Structures are given as structure tokens and as C-alpha cells.
Amino acid sequence: MTANQPITVGFIGLGNMGSGMTRNLQLAGFPLVVNDIRQESAASLFEAAAAGAAPVTWGANPGEVARLSDIVITMLPTPRHVDAVLNGPTGILSGIADGGTWVDMSTSVPEVAVRARSEQAHRGLHILDAPVSGMSVGASTGMLQIFVGGEADDVERIRPVLEAMGDPERILHVGAAGAGYAVKLMINQLWFSHLVATAEVLAIGVKAGVDLEVLRQSLIASPANSNFVQNDVLSILDNGDYDEGFAIALACKDLGLSIDLARSVGVPAELSAVVEQIYRRAKAQYGDLAGEMTPVKLYEDLIGVKLRRADVADADAAAIAVAVSASVAAASVAVAEEVLADAVLAETVSPVAEEVSA
């Protein structure tokens, strides 16, 4: 790279998150060198390059990606994958130049990076952790929130690259190396806890006869309000979408990592352990690829009611119609029969199909 040339970004991991992130890097004009276990995952990038977007090169292995890049980014499923991609025979460390920069944007733990810093200290490498929040939608729109751990000078140096993938106002330098990993794990831990608590509360309230939307609005107006109750749960309540863009197997992985972190710093995590077990039960019941919000379905199945705003409204209308029919039965059998017919119709018109997205 010369002073007049853009930074060449290496990117390893073109899954649900990485595909959107690399697309936005390309749109921002950064030449790319990419690698994934599936070469076809880069097809759209090469098509865009052929149409005039920033160029893309396929790296045969992580080491080659690092050798051809000014900065190399990893976005991988687990710490085991990060370790293999970094330390394998053709891993990043085999190709990265002395003084090079590696940014791990995976939801992971610090151990792999700590070992690299220790064993490669003589090479002057710049190693940052920068996990993200915002799910695949944020990756696609370039509006991720990014939590960066590392030296302040390094964070500012790579900020243009981060801003191509994230919301500039929400790219946060959260502390020294490892802090990014910790912040992201705690965010996930709290979000999953919100999900389970919300599912339990809504299921109990609906089973007790409270209108679903009345209950949700009551929670929003109370000190118990949360972003999950106000916004995130609507994907289920309105669309039956359990967010299959992020598999529950990965959610279970993240919960396990957050509990491991709690154990490593000596803080009991009893509540998170219960949430993890509920997630693992949902994973066992609905499969590894079920969406990260599938634990809500556990509660729906327990009470025999899908938590949908339209469904509950229709059921409520049916109950009202039945009550009215009973009150007028003595006055007019004919009218009563008509109202009962309306109630039956209201009960049968309400099904909402579950949205399935790969």
C-alpha cells in the first residue's frame, strides 16, 4: 500500500455476518482478499467486482490472505475456529508481515489472542478484538455496533475500515485488548436473559387471560420495560420470525462462553446458567439451526398458544362474542345462534404462518 492507495483488507469468514460486512467494505472502495471454507460464498463479491466495484482476490488459505493484505479480519463461529485459522500450518501467523494488523471480530474469548501476543511479541503485531452487535441485518446494512479492545492508536488507524461496516456513532473503544470480547459476551448474556424472561412473562399473562398487547403495553409503561419488550420481541409477535439468521447452536455457544468468562473471574452466574439450560433445551427440541429466539417457542408450546398479537386479538373477540350470546339468549334464540356463529368464525380466521428464513 502506498499513500495514494486504499488499504487492502483481508477477510476470513463469509457466513451470515461476514458476507454483509465484506459487501460493505467493497462498496466503500476497499480492495479485498477473502477466504472461507466455501469458495462459492464469495461469488457475489466477484460479480460486483466484475461490474466495477472494488477488486476481490481469493486467498487459498488464511496465510495467503494475511500476506496479500494490509489488515486481516476474522469473523468466525467459535474460538476453536479462530485458533485454527490463526495458528494452523497455513494460518494467519504464517503469512502476516512483522508489524501487521489482525482484527478478530468474532464473538470469542481472549485466550487465542493473548497467546499470539505472547508468542509473537518479537514481531510487533497489532492485535485487536472487535466483536459486533446488530445481527445479520446490521451486517447487511453496514450499521453494526462494534466494541473494540486494543491500543487507542490502533483503533483510530483502522477506524475507516470499521466505519465501512458499522455505525460510526456506535463504534466504541471499550478498553484494552480483550475488553471487546468481554463487552460482547455480556451484551449477549443479558439479551438472552431478556428473551427468556419476556417469553415466560408473556406466556403466564396470556394463559391467565390477559390480552397479549395489553400486557406488553403495560410492561412498556412500567419500570420493567426493556428494548426487548418494546422492539425485539415484535419479530415473533407480528411475524412468527424466530431469527433463523442466527442459529440457536451459536447462541448456546455464546452463553457457554459468557459463563466460562464468569467462572474465570470468580463471579457466580446462576441466572445465566438457567438461561443457558433453557436455550439448550430449545436446541435439543427444535434443532441446531433453529433461530436464536426459539426459546419463546418452548413457552408457546407449553401453553398451547402462539404469542401473536393478531391471534390473541381474534381469540379475545371470540370470547366477547360468546359472552354477548349468553346474555341475549333468553331474549332471542335466533340472535344468540348468530353471535355464536360469529364467535366460531373469529376463532378460525386467526392462524399466522411462521416465517422461515435461511
**Environment class of residue 44 by beta-carbon count within 10 Å: exposed (0-12), middle (13-18) or buried (19+)?**
middle
- Whole-number pLDDT of residue 141: 96
Question: For 103-144, how does the pLDDT look when each residue is reduced to its tens digit (9 = 90+)?
Answer: 999 999 999 999 999 999 999 999 999 999 998 889 999 999
pLDDT at 184 over 80: yes
Q: Strand 132-133 vs strand 144-149: parallel, antiparallel, or unpaired?
A: antiparallel
**Helices (H) and strands (E) in the chain — how many of each?**
17, 9
In one-letter notation, the amino acid at residue 12 is I
What SS3 class is residue 270? helix
Paired with 148 in beta bridges are 173
> Annotated catalytic residue: which of 184, 253, 283, 306?
184
What's the rounded Cα separation, in Å, for the pair 8 and 170? 24
Q: What is the pLDDT of residue 278?
A: 98
Residue 4: band (very low, low, confident or very high) from pLDDT cuts 50, 70, 90: low
Dihedral Cα 63, 66, 68, 74, nearest 10 deg: 120
* Residue 338 in grid coordinates: 348468530
Cα 88 to Cα 53: distance, rounded to the nearest angstrom: 32
Are the C-beta atoms of residues 176 and 147 closer than 8 Å to each other? no
Q: Worst-scoring range by mean pLDDT, 12-16, 29-33, 68-72, 347-351?
A: 347-351
Mean pLDDT of all residues in 292-312 = 91
Among 210, 211, 213, CA closest to 221:
213
What is the Cα–Cα distance from 194 to 200, expressed in whole angstroms?
10
Tell me what pLDDT residue 245 has.
Answer: 83
As a whole number, mean pLDDT of residues 298-315 equals 82
Catalytic residue check, 283: no
pLDDT of residue 232: 95
Report the alpha-carbon angle 36-117-262, nearest 5. Answer: 85
Query: How is residue 91 annotated by DSSP?
Result: S
For residues 22 and 12, what is the distance between their CA atoms, to the nearest angstrom? 10
121-130 in b/e burial notation, b at 16+ Cβ within 10 A? eeeebbbbbb
pLDDT tens by residue, 46-77 = 999 999 999 999 999 999 999 999 999 999 99
Q: What pLDDT shows up at residue 335?
A: 33
Report the pLDDT value the prediction gives residue 332, as an integer from 0 to 100: 36
Average pLDDT over the chain, rounded to whole?
Answer: 88
Query: Using one digit for the tens of pLDDT, what is the confidence trace for 185-240?
Result: 999 999 999 999 999 999 999 999 999 999 999 999 999 999 999 999 999 999 99
Residue 349 has pLDDT above 80, yes or no: no
Q: Is the pLDDT at 251 greater than 80, yes or no?
A: yes
pLDDT, tens digit, for every residue of 311-336?
544 544 444 344 334 433 433 333 33
3-state secondary structure of 54: coil
CA 123 – CA 307 distance, rounded (Å) = 56
Could you tell me the end-to-end alpha-carbon distance of the chain, in angstroms, rounded to an integer? Answer: 38
Of 154-168, 277-291, 314-328, the range with the lowest mean pLDDT is 314-328
Give me the residues paired with residue 34 across strands. 11, 58
Q: What is the DSSP letter of 247?
A: B
Look at the alpha carbons of 219, 221, 227, 231 in this order and tell me if their dihedral is positive or negative. positive
Tens of pLDDT along 17-44? 999 999 999 999 999 999 999 999 999 9
For 199, the 3-state DSSP assignment is helix
The C-alpha atoms of residue 252 and residue 265 are separated, in whole angstroms, by 20
Whole-number pLDDT of residue 1: 54
